[in-house]
A and B are shown apart, each in its own frame.
Chain A
Amino acid sequence: MDLILIFISAAVINNYVLVSFLGICPFIGVSKKLGSAVSMGMATTFVMTITAAVTWLLNKYILVGLHLEFLQIVSFILVIASLVQLVEMFIKKVSRPLYDALGIFLPLITTNCAILGLALFLVMKQYNFVESIVFGFASGAGFTLALVIMAGIREELELADVPEPFKGAPITLIVAGCLALAFMGFSGLI
């Protein structure tokens, strides 16, 4: 039951993009086409789930165990960067179609603040190992949800008559504001 609660709260109520403001860059950059939004969401969810597991172990057994908590930021970013590289090599070897589908999006994930944010949130929330993995997966699912909704809206928006200065980023931000308003309705869920 707890796990379901964690899932719903991370995926919808505290949605990474629309409520916690993490991962806005890919949200604006990659939400033009539905197809690439789905790929980006999948890649991010994948990396987030693994990051949750690895940083949990790293934090519990190395950083806290050796009283090196001040190294959290440096070690997390290094672990994430090398993890993304490893995942990329692994996918390339094991599943060529998946690798082609994710394409350029995998390396880009390193600089996605949602991943480092996830690692930092996990330290604050003090979940156990299984809860952390569920939290990581749910965060990724929430990110994908927001990205896909946004891409759907933006494909329609192409046809709309937007004033010239508002084309591109501004109108996307304003639409995101309306979406965030809608997502606030979920906060009564739990």
Chain B
Amino acid sequence: MAKSKISVTQEFLKGLWNENPILRMVLGTCPTLAVTTSAINGVTMGLAVIFTLVMSSMMISLLRKLIPNEVRIATFIIIIATFVTVADRVLAAFYPEMSKALGPFVPLIVVNCIVFARQEAFASKNPVGRSVIDALGMSVGFTLVLLIMGSFRELIGNGTIFSHQIMPLSFQPWMAIALQPGAFLTLGFIIGFTNWLNTKRK
């Protein structure tokens, strides 16, 4: 493993831009599209993913020498599902309205490709510290995109960000952006824009 070549900071930062799960690898698009109707929904979902990904990366990294290779996928799924259940129950108990707004998408973190991909590609091969940093970087990168998309769609579709009025009251909200078509369009344009930025930088 040539992993020791890159520093801990770079390990964290790669999740934010170079290997950003949504923008660069187009993973985990379902929750990205579904929950970003408002900024607060996006951030809550992001926090749930941060919790799940960091905890399961830590657990799997600790157990990586004990898990037989043949049953690793089933083991990963059970570990991930356990932490997802914890996040889901906590949300339902303390923030019932938020839990309703996110619908089935918190339980669906189980099959979120981002979480699974990090276990398979990173946590099962690297020591605990690095795995946690990697998980943090990836999930924070994910949350940032959710925050940007949620803020944008809330701003255009409702004139607010985090329920604070930003646009002048005369602004006519563009409902379609807050509804389903807007989700696809916004993400399409954001990914296109980052591709364009990347080709520019080279």
Contact = CB atoms under 8 A, between A and B. Distances in A.
B30 A23 contact: yes
B129 interface: no
B82 interface: yes
Contacts of A77: 77, 81, 110-111
Contacts of B113: 25, 111
Interface in B57-107: 74, 77-78, 81-82, 84-85, 88-89, 104, 107
Contacts of A73: 81, 84-85, 88, 107, 110
Contact of A173 (B110, B179, B188): B188
A174 to B, nearest CB: 4
A170 B191 contact: yes
26 contacts: A22-B108, A25-B30, A25-B113, A70-B89, A72-B107, A77-B110, A77-B111, A81-B77, A111-B111, A111-B116, A112-B111, A116-B107, A116-B111, A117-B104, A120-B108, A121-B104, A165-B199, A166-B195, A169-B188, A169-B191, A170-B189, A170-B195, A172-B188, A173-B184, A174-B189, A177-B188
B192 interface: yes
Interface of A: 18-25, 28, 70-74, 77-78, 81, 111-113, 116-117, 120-121, 124, 163-166, 169-174, 176-178, 180-181, 183-184
Contacts of A22: 30, 108
Interface residues of B, number: 41
> Which DSSP category, helix, strand, loop or mixed, fits chain A's interface?
helix
Contacts of A164: 195, 199
Nearest to B78: A74
Nearest 6 CB-CB pairings of A with B: A173-B188, A177-B184, A165-B195, A170-B192, A177-B185, A21-B34
